[in-house]
Amino acid sequence: MSASLRGKVVAVTFIYNECPDICPLLTQKMVQVQDELAADFGAKVAFVSISLDPAHDTPDVFKDYAQFWGARLDGWSFLTGSVEAVRDVTRHYGVLFAKKADGSVDHTQLTTLVDAEGQMRVQYLGARFDPEEFWRDLMSLVDKE
């Protein structure tokens, strides 16, 4: 885990910039929770979104994506890398993905909460999770510190 995330509760998601439906819905819900976390966001809680389309999602593309959605970059990292590096991370979290002929990415929509010690604690499948439950789960992990 990177030094900037050490000691924080982290929500890890896997998205791609050109996703037409579920990724924007997930990002919108996470922005809502980011805003509800107020001062705890960035200080005690961090979000990490990892690209499933690293050939397209350059740092500049992700910077524009974050700005469009209102993601606070003081507590939210948008990461990309080689396809091999992304595959290694997705395997660790149990996420499957494959780029389709039309350029879209078929993928498992999974959000994982990692506690301050780096242990996976909660996973949410899909983007239909309740933002209030997500916030409560984050805060319960923060309160254990």
Whole-angstrom distance, CA of residue 53 vs CA of residue 137: 29
The CATH architecture of the domain made up of 9-143 is: 3-Layer(aba) Sandwich (3.40)
Q: pLDDT tens digits, residue range 11-43?
A: 999 999 999 888 999 999 999 999 999 999 999
pLDDT above 70: residue 125: yes
Residue 5: predicted pLDDT: 78
Instruction: Give percent of the chain with pLDDT exceeding 70.
Output: 95
The pTM is what?
A: 0.91
140: its two tokens: 């319960």
* Angle separating helix axes 59-69 and 22-37, nearest 10 degrees: 60
Spatial CA neighbour of 104 closest among 44, 1, 15: 15
DSSP state of 39: G
Spatial CA neighbour of 79 closest among 46, 108, 49: 49
Residue listed under structure tokens 């809680």: 45
Residue 37: predicted pLDDT: 93
Q: pLDDT tens digits, residue range 87-108?
A: 999 999 999 898 898 888 989 8
Q: What residue spans define the domains of the chain?
A: 9-143
pLDDT above 90: residue 145: no
pLDDT above 90: residue 128: no
